[in-house]
Chain A
Amino acid sequence: MSGFLDTYSHLTLTEQAILTLAAMVLVSSFALLAQSRVVATIRLFALQGFLLVVVTALVALDTREYHLFYSAGLTLLLKVWFVPWLLTRQARRLGILRDLDSLLRPGVVLIAAGALVIFCYSVALPIQRFAESITRDAIAISLAVVLLSMLMLITRRKAITQVVGFMSMENGLFFGAVTATQGMPMVVELGVAFDVLIAAVVFGVFFFHIRDSIESLDVDMLNQLTEVDE
């Protein structure tokens, strides 16, 4: 019917599913950015992890790179179950599970997020020309997930939601590794996984320290000297 029509409909159903899920990962990043409730943020993070697991498994099936199943399993264990569980437990202990961490200007942040996605697309365009794999189009998405998580780190005020942003950034990197290069070497992947694990535990300890010293998890209060207030 037209010139646009189109290589997309000639892809196999698995490949179409991979790209659809990639778009859903992007949506989950937007949702993370817009969500203000702490508990919902953690759940969304788990959902994003789960989408990643499904994408990784599908890529493994599609490219017959079966070692990616290990990565998928590791992600499922760490980012879908362990980290959300740990964060929820800590938030409950700190009594902030139902708290709001509202954005200052949600509209501006969402528009900025849209602009970031377009920026990522234009940056990734030259890379995509050289890549051969079907999933090369998802490079822009993984870059966007990283940058959107950075935006989340900037716009959030509570330490716990910033940690979720940080972990989501790792999700973006992992997604990029899976889609662009069919996964990292197992050693690197294991290393990153343990880094995430350690980071989650260390952050957990830090939550309590921050709260003990400023009696809040609102990091904006960190730039005030307590002596000045008294």
Chain B
Amino acid sequence: MVDFLNPADWVFVWLQTALFVLLAPLFSGWIKWLKCLLQNRRPPSLLQPYRDLLRLVRKDVLLADNASVLFRGAPYIICGCTVLAASVVPLLILHQPISAMADVIVLVGLFALARFFLALAGMDVGTAFGGMGSSREMTVSALAEPAMLMVVFTLSMVASSTNLSTLVEHGLQQQSVLRPSILFALIALIMVAIAENARIPVDNPATHLELTMIHEAMILEYSGRHLAMMELASQLKLTTYAVLIIDLFFPWGIAQSASAAGLGVAAVAIAVKLSLLGLLLALGETAVAKMRLFKVPTFLAMSFALAMIGMLSFVILESSK
């Protein structure tokens, strides 16, 4: 099915990953733009995130005196992990050689690796905010990860595979099926995605000025190209989660082989679906207030419970005995 040594296939992998990375700031800019419109503010240009990143790259890096190698290395590791995770998720075409190398569990693991280094980097300089952010991030992720894995298990049971391409293909094959397990997995995954990407109601991505911040507290000490990389990584992570949700639950239109027409359809489909998802996220973030930090465990326990009910309802209602 997949030829590992065919260089043409790998070209597609590289192109798709590059497209992913290039798209990520646009997606986060789109959400910001919509949120501004919804809140009666004048929106910045859609290209603003690119300009921010360019400006940060040009600036000098300021390092604290006691910053260790870890602090300097962390942005590269985090950005690398996130790019690798993005390359695994099929954006336009299924069955690429890389999808045979990494399944959904590896994807969760890559995000966990990035988060581990992010938390270490937050504590490295020794500021109060960094340590606080790291401890909160680990609290949230310790609760979000089981829920995420539960979602993954539910989906893998439905498709009897943990390979992403197979999961998407399985979704494509049966379009008019109303499955309770998939429904609950979708809701649980959306809740996990909100928590993992530090969006409202778990964390506010738009502020450096709150005592309740999680993600921003960890990257407070970064500047210059390091900060640019951290920003890009978090934008890429958001986009990856969005594409993952689309792939797993609304895969219609994705190309199964590399033909020009198929790719065109896939590109249009993914663009429409991503902008709709962005609109939903912006609407949600405008309508919902940030919740207290102590409520976050309940939020994530709910997501875990939903994923678990999804799995149970697959076993009880859907599997043939």
A interface with B by C-beta (< 8 Å): 1-9, 13, 16-17, 19-20, 22-24, 26-27, 30, 34, 106-107, 110, 114, 117-118, 121, 125, 128-129, 137-138, 140-141
Contacts and interface: CB of A to CB of B under 8 A. Distances in A.
Interface residues of B, number: 32
A8 B309 contact: no
Contact of A16 (B160, B177, B313, B319): B177
Nearest to B160: A2
B178 A34 contact: no
Contact of A34 (B157, B177, B302, B318): B302
B257 interface: no
B214 interface: no
Nearest to B308: A114
B177 A8 contact: yes
Contacts of B173: 1
Contact of B317 (A3, A23, A27): A23
B271 interface: no
Given A27-B306, A140-B316, A13 B178 contact: yes
B179 A16 contact: yes
Given A27-B306, A30-B305, A121 B316 contact: yes
Contacts, number: 85
B321 A24 contact: no
B176 A13 contact: yes
B160 A23 contact: no
B309 A4 contact: no
29 contacts: A1-B159, A1-B166, A1-B170, A2-B161, A3-B160, A4-B157, A6-B320, A8-B319, A17-B178, A19-B180, A19-B313, A20-B178, A20-B179, A22-B317, A23-B181, A26-B313, A27-B184, A34-B302, A106-B298, A107-B301, A117-B309, A117-B312, A117-B316, A118-B312, A128-B321, A137-B317, A140-B316, A141-B316, A141-B317
Nearest to B157: A4
Contact of B301 (A26, A27, A110): A110
B301 to A, nearest CB: 7
B180 A23 contact: yes
Contacts of B320: 4, 6-8
A8 B178 CA distance: 9
Given A9-B177, A24-B180, A19 B317 contact: yes
Contacts of A13: 176, 178
